[in-house]
Amino acid sequence: MSNIVDPLVGQIAARVRTERERRRWTLAQLADASGVSQAMISRIERGESSPTAVVLGKLSAAFQLSIASLLALAEGAQEESQSESQEESQGGAGVRRRADTAEWRDPGTGYRRRQISGPRFPAEVAEIRLPAGAQVPYPAAAFAFVRQIVWVLDGRLTFHDGDTVHELDAGDTIELGNPAERVFANTTDTECRYAVILTRGAQP
């Protein structure tokens, strides 16, 4: 069985703190930039609170990172040493077993995210499971500095791209353009599973 939530809470806490300190921001400055309360950020950085996808979206937007990048950086910190030892033993083949892959669960919606690609791969690939009736909104700034494709694997995804709404069925893809406010919604009574593939552009 995969490791769910707990192993990632501390990694997300460390990553948020690292990104804030890298910019030499105070908690108050990050709160102003993100719209997340200073008290909530403090609890997240101490590992006392598991942030929702919406909160992570606001924080990643303030950092000018995608939420996928923020989570991948957090997960990569733990997995980099594992990848190095695997590559040495397997002649460079980075095999990642399903049972060894951490899965992050949004405490607010039940949205689940599993990182597919390793920390050294040039693109970030993640598998998302969006429960029936759930929706996750992200601010436009969360999509800055990345090129991104969403690929629906199972079910139906209602994707709000700014003012435009796309109904995406299994097998459909959408390549995202300029940053816009976006909502990933599942309006059906069954789970939707999709993949997010992104590459980073200019660094913030």
Q: pLDDT, tens digit, for every residue of 144-203? A: 878 899 999 999 999 999 999 999 999 999 999 999 999 999 999 999 999 999 987 655
- The CATH architecture of the domain made up of 6-200 is Sandwich (2.60)
Q: Residues near 128 by Cβ (< 8 Å), separated by ≥ 6?
A: 111, 112, 113, 184, 193, 194, 195, 196
Residues facing 4 on adjacent strands: 103
Strand, coil or helix: 100: helix
Share of the chain above pLDDT 90, in %: 51
CB-CB contact of 101 with 79 (8 Å): no
In this prediction the pTM is 0.78
CB 132 within 8 A of CB 177: no
Average pLDDT along the chain? 84
